[in-house]
Amino acid sequence: MKIGCVQLNVRFGKVDENFERAEQFIRQAAQGGAEIIVLPEMWNTGYALEKLPELADENGERSKEFLGRLAKELSVHIVGGSVAIRVGEEFFNTMYTFNKEGELVGEYSKVHLFRLMDEHLYLQAGDKLNRFALGDIEAGGVICYDIRFPEWLRSHALRGAKVLFVPAQWPTPRIDHWKTLLQARAIENQCFVIAVNRIANKVENFNGQSMIIQPWGEVLWTGAEDEELAIIDVDFSIVDEVRTRIPVYDDRRPNLYEEVVK
């Protein structure tokens, strides 16, 4: 299956411009044969947290209409990265996923808020897993900082996910952590990890290096340090092969884990 990764240069606070650029890349990816298209985190606003009262998408309506319409028109699955939304007086960092029929199949608000960027001061945390199917592919999705919590990603894999999507705005100073953590999450969960980071100017300090990693830990693709669309062919059957050869899930002893991990 061909995966289109949109490593977008997100314009800080420029919502209309970001929607326009996202649509251009989605259409380009579909024309290039991508069957699943993935966007980065907070692509509608960037980290304009102080401006959320004026910028956030009310109930996510614009984002859902946009993603659902393009998914159906282009007959592609879209993992819509995440967008800043407003629900009542609260704000969330929310991922919407649409199948190629234009149906909303996944909705997830970031569970782990990143205090170093003051997310906890502006956003509310989600409290639900993000499990969905794209055709016959069982999948899960988390957002950026979530990857530092291995038990959270394992929860998705235990429920059948063969691929984990990770939209992010991961900063340049800790990009080595990004690479190492993503490989570890792929190996330990024996699944594909498809992680799409953003690009920004040097002031905001995000430099892409999105990744697709297969269950053995092999990196199939790493993005450049610039805006980019990559279309990568992925063979999801490898997941069953890996899980058969090294039966990690059969050898787990969860009764012991529950006693020591709280």
Which active-site residues does the annotation give?
A: 41, 110, 144
25 vs 42: CA distance, rounded Å: 16
Burial of 19 (0-12, 13-18, 19+ CB in 10 A): middle
Helices (H), the chain: 15-31, 52-55, 61-74, 119-122, 150-158, 175-189, 238-245, 248-251, 254-260
Question: Between the CA of residue 182 and those of 171, 179, 212, 232, what are the distances in Å?
Answer: 15, 5, 9, 17
What amino acid occupies position 108?
Y
Residue whose token pair is 């956003």: 123
- By three-state DSSP, how is residue 102 classified? coil
- By three-state DSSP, how is residue 255 classified? helix
